Amino acid sequence: MEVKHLKVFGWSASLVFFREKRHCDVCKKVRSELIEWLCPKSPHITMELSWWINKLSEVTSVLAVSKLESVDKMACYRVDHYILKRLLQGYQIPQVTHIAVDEVYARSPKQQGKDETRDDLFLTVILDIKTHKVIWVADSRRREALDDFFKIIGSEACSKIKVVATDQHEGYSASVAEYCTNAVVVLDRFHLVQNFNEALNEDRKDELDQIDPEGQMGDMMNGKYKCKFLTKAANRSEKDNRHIEYVTKLNKKMAQLEIIKERFHQIFDAPSVIDAQVILAEIFQWSMDIHARGIFNWIRNIMKDLRFWNYFENRYSSGVIEGTNRAIKGLKWQAYGYKDMEYFKLKIMQKVGYLNSRFALKWMYELKSN
């Protein structure tokens, strides 16, 4: 046999040796000699090279690693998958008190099975807010995905969780209520702003329909400018602020919507729940006065949700997990998508979690020794 090994001073290195094959009296087949320092998933690669391929794949794609090490792409994939599964065997979910839960889009509708729904196209990502690291990834965005995580860590660990930041997904909240009796569910600020902007955009469209959409005002309120009306004034450029100021002088309702939007963003700086309630009541009254149906209906629903008010007592957000989701999307883009969801989950935990050489050195050394 000839097997690839780690490079030596940039030179490719191979090991050439004899491997015995003998007939097995038990299974009645010809079997090869067991050589422990060969990778089981790719017998023409040594385990040392397998660990090195896995380490390189932490910072670049498998395709780039295959070119760098002159190893077949599929062999690199099998080796990386195998090492990650071995690392997962020694992985212990850390003790957490504050977690964020969100879903990430994993598969396209073309990959949806016959017995699957759209929820199965997503993965549920659980992140430790304190360390900003992903601690677990589960299939789908159903309630059962979070239920399985809580069952894995056990009732004692669940009792230590104090805050769970998530969006308005009812399944996640129901799971937390059942398993984490000491935890408070906090609606995420990022998603709240996102939902408010959707309501605000509905009112912008309604006003656009009342005037001439094809006229001058329509051009100034639509197209590339529509997102500018949803952005905080402090985050807009000077040119965009001048444009918004010009439009609001010509259109009274757009000026009123701009005031409501800026007032809404001030709610997150409210020092207490009572102050936040006062601000939201003002916005509610203003939206009713100007017949802003989108904002009015959204606030009417959110005022009844206790999870919204929990934010002002536990100011935690899953904004960190949104940044993590961006890294996950970059990982998916780098690999041109994943067909193997098990491998994709392992790669997420490698890229933005603890399943890598930086944090897994202890059990990695134990696995290599064994």
Looking up residue 180, the CATH number of its domain turns out to be: 3.30.420.10
In this model, does residue 368 exceed pLDDT 70? no
Question: At 17, is the pLDDT very low, low, confident or very high (cuts 50, 70, 90)?
Answer: very high
CA 199 – CA 292 distance, rounded (Å): 9
Q: What is the pLDDT of residue 162?
A: 92
Range of the structural domain that residue 119 is part of:
98-188
Task: Average the pLDDT over each of 11-15, 24-28, 146-150, 281-285 and give the range with the smallest value.
Answer: 24-28
Q: What is the mean pLDDT of residues 165-169?
A: 82
Pair 195, 301 in one domain: yes
Contact status, residue 62 vs residue 4, Cβ threshold 8 Å: no
Domain shared by 223 and 252, yes or no: yes
Q: What is the pLDDT of residue 159?
A: 93
Residue that is last in its domain, among 188, 204, 226: 188
Based on the domain organization, do 226 and 304 belong to the same domain? yes
Q: What average pLDDT does range 41-69 have in this prediction? A: 92
Residue 27 burial (CB count, 10 A) = 8
State the pLDDT at residue 317.
Answer: 66
| 169 and 268 together in one domain | no
In a domain, 346, yes or no: no
If asked whether residues 153 and 202 sit together in one domain, one would say no
* Residue with more model confidence, 187 or 5: 5
- Identify the pLDDT of residue 216: 67
Residues 219 and 301 in one domain: yes
Q: Is 251 left (phi over 0), alpha (psi -120 to 50) or beta?
A: beta
Tell me, yes or no, whether 300 lies in a domain.
Answer: yes
Region 259-278: what's the mean pLDDT? Answer: 89
Q: What is the pLDDT of residue 38?
A: 93
Could you tell me if 303 and 204 lie in one domain?
Answer: yes
Mean pLDDT of 19-30: 89
Q: Could you report the per-residue pLDDT of 279-289, keeping only the tens digit for each?
A: 999 999 999 99
Asked if residue 195 and residue 304 are part of one domain, the reply reads: yes
- Residue 179 CA to residue 11 CA, distance in Å, equals 56
Give yes or no for residue 113 having a pLDDT over 60: yes
318 falls in which pLDDT band (50, 70, 90)?
Answer: low
pLDDT score, position 14: 93
206 within a domain of the structure (yes/no): yes
Q: What is the pLDDT of residues 140-166, one digit of tens each?
A: 889 999 999 999 999 999 999 998 888
Average pLDDT rounded to a whole number, residues 162-187: 88
Whole-angstrom distance, CA of residue 259 vs CA of residue 341: 46
Which amino acid is it at 55?
K
| Shared-domain flag, residues 49 and 143 | no
Whether residues 128 and 235 share a domain: the answer is no
Confidence of residue 214 (pLDDT cuts 50, 70, 90): low
User: What value does the mean pLDDT of the chain take?
Assistant: 87
302 token code pair: 């959110």
Give whole-number Cα distances, 263 to 231, 267, 284, 287, 310, in Å.
13, 7, 11, 12, 20
What pLDDT band is residue 192 in, cutting at 50, 70 and 90? Answer: confident
Decide if 223 is inside a domain: yes
Q: How confident is the model at residue 80 (pLDDT cuts 50, 70, 90)?
A: very high
Please identify, among 188, 221, 249, the residue that sits at the C-terminal boundary of a domain.
188
This prediction's pTM: 0.80
User: Mean pLDDT, to the nearest integer, of 23-51?
Assistant: 90
pLDDT above 90: percentage of residues in the chain: 42
Residue 332 in any domain: the answer is no
Higher pLDDT, 111 or 180: 180
Q: What value does the mean pLDDT take over residues 245-259?
A: 88
Same domain, 197 and 280: yes
Q: Which of 162, 188, 214 is the last residue before a domain boundary?
A: 188
Asked, for residue 330, whether it belongs to a domain, the answer is no
Q: How many domains does the chain have?
A: 3
Confidence of residue 215 (pLDDT cuts 50, 70, 90): low
Cα–chain center distance at 345: 11
| Residue 105 shares a structural domain with residue 73 | no
pLDDT bucket at 364, cuts 50 / 70 / 90: low
**Is 245 inside any structural domain?**
yes
